[in-house]
Amino acid sequence: MFHKEGYKIILITFAIVAVLSLVANHFVGNQYYRGGIILVLIVFLILILQFFRNPKRHFSLNANQVLSPVDGKVVVIEEVFEKEYFKDKRLQVSVFMSPINVHVTRYPVGGPIVYSKYHPGKYLVAWHPKSSEENERTTVVVKSEKFGDVLHRQIAGALAKRIVNYAKEGDIAVQADDSGFIKFGSRVDIYLPIGTKINVALNQKVKGGISVLAEQ
């Protein structure tokens, strides 16, 4: 199963791979070179397919929990000053996604969407300290009944060239539903109230919509 954001790229990639394979088969006389070219093209197609995969998952929704919005590895757990929306201190949890992770972004909590904004920007590596302020990014805030306003921010990385954000102010977010998609490598930051109980540790691997980042 593939995410809708990948349909066009998958079709284009498949067509390119098919054409180049036919060209190699027709014009490259050496069978080892020909086989090598075709193998590289097939591997490239497989990488594109796995990047846009959207595995079926069974979610267990709980208003007392904050779920990980994405697959990846926890790279930041710290108290920070959030400048854009809260303008005060929050507990930040960041999840880094490599190109081989599933890149669907999911709502960590459910409730009314009170803020949604896109920011154009740079493409620093996703773990760069200034990437959350200078890179292309989107900021979404959902008003949770249990946690209050919970902010999650999609941040483009060095490879990511397009962030897709489905969140619209005034809509009702359903926990674990699709919030967006980031193409080719990225990071997501979650901002929680100070004192929230965190359920993950640094370098822990998490799954979007499955792993519990925090709870009451």
Measured CA to CA, the distance from residue 142 to residue 152 in angstroms comes to 8
Nearest one of 129, 134, 123, 138 to 184, comparing CA atoms: 123
Would you call 186 a catalytic residue per the annotation?
yes
Measured CA to CA, the distance from residue 75 to residue 120 in angstroms comes to 23
Give the active site residue among 94, 132, 144, 186.
Answer: 186
- Which residue in this structure is represented by tokens 């990639």? 13
- Which residue in this structure is represented by tokens 């773990």? 127
DSSP state of 2: B
Measured CA to CA, the distance from residue 9 to residue 54 in angstroms comes to 15
Measured CA to CA, the distance from residue 163 to residue 175 in angstroms comes to 20
Determine whether 19 is exposed, middle or buried from the number of CB atoms within 10 Å of its CB (0-12, 13-18, 19+).
exposed
Q: So which residues are the catalytic ones?
A: 186
